[in-house]
Structure 1
Amino acid sequence: MNFDPYHYKYPSRRNVVYSSRGMVATSHPLAAQAGLDILKKGGNAVDAAIATAAALTVVEPTSNGLGSDNFALIWKDGALHGINGSGAAPLSFDADAFRERGWQKVPEQGWASATVPAAPKTWALLARKMGNLSLAESLAPAITYARNGHAVAVTVAHNWRLAYEKYVKLLHGKEFNPWFETFCPKGRAPRAGELWRCGEQAYTLDLIAKTEGEAFYTGEIAEKILDFSNQTGGFYSSEDLERHSPEWVDPISVQYRGYDIWEIPPNGQGIIVLMALNMLKGFSFSQRSAETCHKQIEAIKLAFADAHRYVADQRFSHVPVTEMLSDHYGDVRRNSIHDQASIPEAGNPEASGTVYLCTADEQGNMVSFIQSNYTGFGSGIVIPQTGIALNNRAKGFSLDPAHPNVLAPGKRPYHTIIPGFITKDGDPLGPFGVMGGYMQPQGHVQVVMNMLDFAMNPQEALDAPRWQWVGDMDVAIEPGFPVSVAQKLQQMGHHIRMALDSNTFGRGEIILKTSEGTLIGATEPRADGSIAAW
């Protein structure tokens, strides 16, 4: 079919948004407004993405922060560019030492879960290489939100409360005291509508802005990070911070229904999306039936099995990307999909918890950007007097010495956050993404197919009820998923469970270029999502 987001028959529950000069779509209205303000001041889509990402660290700290990682796909100057802004393990990390402590896997909280923060340096690099404005101009809205305060959004308040209830039970060492002092100074999480200020984060953002990120890695902020690490049994060294550098990468893609679907290459899990679509393109689909969902689930299972076997930091391990995305391997894996659910195993290709945003400007630049601390606030480690919550991305490593993704000094872990992009015949259609840990590739596949197989407009594609494979034969379905389809999936061998809410089914945004040359945007009903249009 020839998909055109400009044409559709019926309005969805929430209509799409159109604009002609620029657009920002993300999970929080204040962050979207920050990006739009930058567009109106002469910034391009890259500047708007930086402003939105920085604002999200303030208004949605439950998902990301100044200690986050990020990735981006950027359409600029007639080409698609990729940047890998994921941090590496500290040089003092040692898999043998971790195992000697009795750990069978990397802990979820504490210093042992934190890789080197990457987000501020990615912002600085993008501003310098691709932006119209200075980093200071793009960070100004975030600094204002942090210094003057903002009213906490509903979804953010809910997740903040859940984090507090979890941390108050689990985090007891002195290294965790600053998290409670910084993010719950009243002895509880902020409530929806309550004014939240974080002057310490404003100060840190201001230093990042004035020094183009250098203060974070070699200056005053770095000293605070290293001092707290040394005082509380952390692993960071000055070399860890100084040596961090984002990496420009070549995006990877497969063709699906005449469109090219793009992702960031490993160490990210975007390859799962492409492998699944490569299998599914050999089938014909006319409706979102039980048979369709079954094939989607089985393809996702097979792709995850391969990713968990092969995906790692390509600077340390060979990842057979070309072979994993070949048509031949797609055929081989497709032939493993039968009429009944199965537990997947990795093939042999060589044998033949995040914020997302997207932006567009009137010059044709478009950005797909994702940023995350991993699970909630991350490691539970907050650097005193800075507002910096460190990620827990090291949890993505294996401690199996024979695995390509085994923990090693200076290595980047298997990464769950993935920005997506669609092109056709060398021209950009636009960015898309779905947040949410291991739900992300599953959300990408469902949203892409909703548009390209089932002719849904972008808002309908996001609104449609989702399934989520959670392991073995278990599949969760969210409220609103058709009962008859769920019953048939159960008969096909899937263990179906109905979720009580939609919190774990991802949160996405889409911006696409229409055949009229205008922009169409959609945002997620599962979050406080907003589109700011100009």
Structure 2
Amino acid sequence: MSKPTFDPHYYPYASQRMMTVANRGMVATSQPLAAQAGLDILKKGGNAIDAAIATAAALTVVEPTSNGIGSDAFALVWTKGELHGLNASGPAPQAISIDKVKERGYDYIPKQGWIPVTVPGAPAGWLALSERFGKLSLKETLEPAINYAKNGYPISPVLAYYWKKEYEKYLPYADDEQFADWFDVFAPNGKIPQVGELWKSPDHAKTLTAIAETGAKSFYKGEIADKIDAFSKKHNGFLTKQDLENYKPEWVSPINVSYRGYDVWEIPPNGQGLVALLALNTLKGFDFSEKDAVATYHKQIEAMKLAFADGKKYITESKHMTVNIDALLSEQYAEQRRILIGDEASIPEAGTPPKSGTVYLATADQEGNMVSFIQSNYDGFGSGLVVPGTGIALQNRGCNFSLDPDHDNALQGGKRTYHTIIPGFLTKGDQAVGPFGVMGGFMQPQGHVQVIMNMIDFQLNPQAALDAPRWNWPEAKRVMVEPDFPKHIADGLERLGHQIEYTLDKYTFGRGQIIWRDPDTGVLYGGTEKRTDGLIAAY
């Protein structure tokens, strides 16, 4: 059975918010208005899948600094005793190539402009979820998002912070015609919305309405596709209407590792969930008796480095990978990597296995359905391009491709790149425990490992697991930690060769949500992030 093993009364981070408990339905995400949109759909008779779609669509409006209609998405869906995976990430345009990018003067893929734009998968993902598992129509689930876009909503504090940060990033492009619509939509009259100010986007509302009424056909084959195609042609982009017409999201079999009696599930590559599983597979060979111990953090960090070394070398669209996923997750390979963790900080390299911006949300309903869903532009508002008259901010996911033709993740037309966004799910035996996720670029697998260990190894409840101070390994021997990270642990890690950097930037450490379900009672336990505007809407 998957009865939660944490002590719901044990709460070591009392200065933060308490865990939410409910039994009829729960929606957890980084923006309160989006969470409420999902809850409204549950109360209307929708299930957890409908609520996830409604929340995701609402997030494109109420948190446009992290995702949009032009995003990609991934989902893990638990329903009727089975876990299903959806990969709604889009490929690179067929016309793009390494040589063509280099002909334009680049030796890397830039983050802004048309070069990093890939086919947006989110609208097709919403439709796929709705058609296979939803109880309500896509039109009904998108209604809250349309209302927010049409009537407006007041800007929240964290959203305002990100908006200002992104505006400053795009200022150098203010006189470039292809970026004009970004400024018209998100910084009208040269001003960005402030905390408490009402912001609305009629173009978003029109586009979401068209998606709702046509089942996303307008986006991929109709009027919206024509507008995207024309915008791309005008500015010498690679994306075409044919790329959009040919796109379909993919139902995939989730991958997992067994960790101390639980199964931790992730979406298979091209997502980087494999990195989290590699680290956990390595770490399960150690005994951790104490959370706040130098040895615990040292082993976590070193295992994460080893996992990233493999991930950055091998992860791409699965059919282009030169190594077998099962081989990477084998006990034999885990042991090979585990013995490389010594007593000092290291700079690891990828191994040779045996042959063989982002938003996150979690939903649950009283029928037992649960969804782990993630959606992202990749970098803030994405490419900085907004399709005229649509409100669609196009993602810049393609900047993760490599221009090295010998790399597994080498740029190629029609290929899906290494993807940072990853939903997670936990089961025990044949029962669902629940969805979890920590958004934030390459922090995501690091966040997954930390919250999973907090809950399983150290019996923290979902809220306490999220509130615990985090670390983030960016490169080499550098490790960034939060202001409340224990000083004696930081000092101990430095003695082992880690270069510890305290930072006040809480956004470095990701933003997560967790829902656990008690199978005996149906009671839901939810945790939401202290590092954002997050809310759990429940009843």
Q: 1:497 aligns with which of 480, 486, 501?
A: 501
Deviation at 1:235, TM superposition (A): 1.2
| Counterpart-to-counterpart distance in 1, 2:392 and 2:319 | 28
Matched, 1:186 2:189: yes
Paired residues for 1:388-407 under 5 Å? 388-407=392-411
Matched, 1:248 2:251: yes
Name 2:351's counterpart in structure 1.
347
| Counterpart-to-counterpart distance in 1, 2:283 and 2:174 | 44
Please say if residues 41 and 50 of structure 2, whose CA atoms lie closer than 8 Å, have aligned partners that are also in contact.
Answer: yes
| Counterpart-to-counterpart distance in 2, 1:487 and 1:171 | 45
| SS in structure 2 at match of 1:113 | coil
| Counterpart-to-counterpart distance in 2, 1:490 and 1:8 | 34
The one-character-per-residue Cα deviations of 1:248-303 (angstroms, maximum 9, x if unpaired) are 00000001110000000000000011110001001111222111111000000000
| Counterpart-to-counterpart distance in 1, 2:220 and 2:3 | 48
The one-character-per-residue Cα deviations of 1:490-534 (angstroms, maximum 9, x if unpaired) are 110011111122111000000000253210101000000000001
Matched, 1:45 2:48: yes
Please say if residues 329 and 352 of structure 1, whose CA atoms lie closer than 8 Å, have aligned partners that are also in contact.
Answer: no
The one-character-per-residue Cα deviations of 1:304-343 (angstroms, maximum 9, x if unpaired) are 0001111111233344100000011111100000010000
| SS in structure 1 at match of 2:189 | coil
Name 1:58's counterpart in structure 2.
61
Name 1:374's counterpart in structure 2.
378
Name 2:533's counterpart in structure 1.
528
Deviation at 1:105, TM superposition (A): 1.5
Name 1:362's counterpart in structure 2.
366
Name 2:289's counterpart in structure 1.
286
Matched, 1:29 2:32: yes
| Counterpart-to-counterpart distance in 2, 1:199 and 1:237 | 25
Please say if residues 6 and 520 of structure 1, whose CA atoms lie closer than 8 Å, have aligned partners that are also in contact.
Answer: no
Please say if residues 312 and 319 of structure 1, whose CA atoms lie closer than 8 Å, have aligned partners that are also in contact.
Answer: no
Please say if residues 8 and 456 of structure 1, whose CA atoms lie closer than 8 Å, have aligned partners that are also in contact.
Answer: no
Matched, 1:462 2:466: yes
Paired residues for 1:296-315 under 5 Å? 296-315=300-319
| SS in structure 2 at match of 1:504 | helix
Q: Which runs of 4+ in 1 moved over 6 A?
A: none
| Counterpart-to-counterpart distance in 2, 1:172 and 1:473 | 40
| Counterpart-to-counterpart distance in 1, 2:3 and 2:240 | 54
| Counterpart-to-counterpart distance in 2, 1:524 and 1:503 | 11
Please say if residues 115 and 238 of structure 2, whose CA atoms lie closer than 8 Å, have aligned partners that are also in contact.
Answer: yes
Q: 1:197 aligns with which of 192, 196, 200?
A: 200
Q: 2:126 aligns with which of 118, 123, 143?
A: 123
Please say if residues 49 and 357 of structure 1, whose CA atoms lie closer than 8 Å, have aligned partners that are also in contact.
Answer: yes
The one-character-per-residue Cα deviations of 1:430-468 (angstroms, maximum 9, x if unpaired) are 000000000000000000000111111110000001000
Q: 2:423 aligns with which of 409, 419, 428?
A: 419
The change in CA–CA distance for 1:31 and 1:109 in structure 2 (over 3 A counts) is: same
Unaligned runs of 5+ in 2: none
| Counterpart-to-counterpart distance in 2, 1:20 and 1:358 | 15
Name 1:233's counterpart in structure 2.
236
Please say if residues 3 and 451 of structure 1, whose CA atoms lie closer than 8 Å, have aligned partners that are also in contact.
Answer: no
| Counterpart-to-counterpart distance in 2, 1:504 and 1:353 | 12
Unaligned runs of 5+ in 1: none
| Counterpart-to-counterpart distance in 2, 1:493 and 1:4 | 35
Matched, 1:4 2:8: no
Q: 1:476 aligns with which of 471, 474, 480?
A: 480
Q: 1:81 aligns with which of 79, 84, 97?
A: 84
- Does 35-44 or 226-235 show the bigger shift? 226-235
Please say if residues 3 and 433 of structure 2, whose CA atoms lie closer than 8 Å, have aligned partners that are also in contact.
Answer: no
Name 1:259's counterpart in structure 2.
262
- State the AA in 1 paired with 2:29: T
| SS in structure 2 at match of 1:438 | helix
| Counterpart-to-counterpart distance in 2, 1:15 and 1:434 | 18
- Does 7-16 or 129-138 show the bigger shift? 7-16
Matched, 1:114 2:117: yes
| Counterpart-to-counterpart distance in 1, 2:371 and 2:9 | 25
The change in CA–CA distance for 1:5 and 1:39 in structure 2 (over 3 A counts) is: farther
TM-score scaled to structure 1, two decimals?
0.98
Deviation at 1:172, TM superposition (A): 4.0
| Counterpart-to-counterpart distance in 1, 2:46 and 2:428 | 26
| SS in structure 2 at match of 1:400 | coil
The change in CA–CA distance for 1:503 and 1:10 in structure 2 (over 3 A counts) is: closer
TM-score scaled to structure 2, two decimals?
0.97
| Counterpart-to-counterpart distance in 2, 1:17 and 1:101 | 52
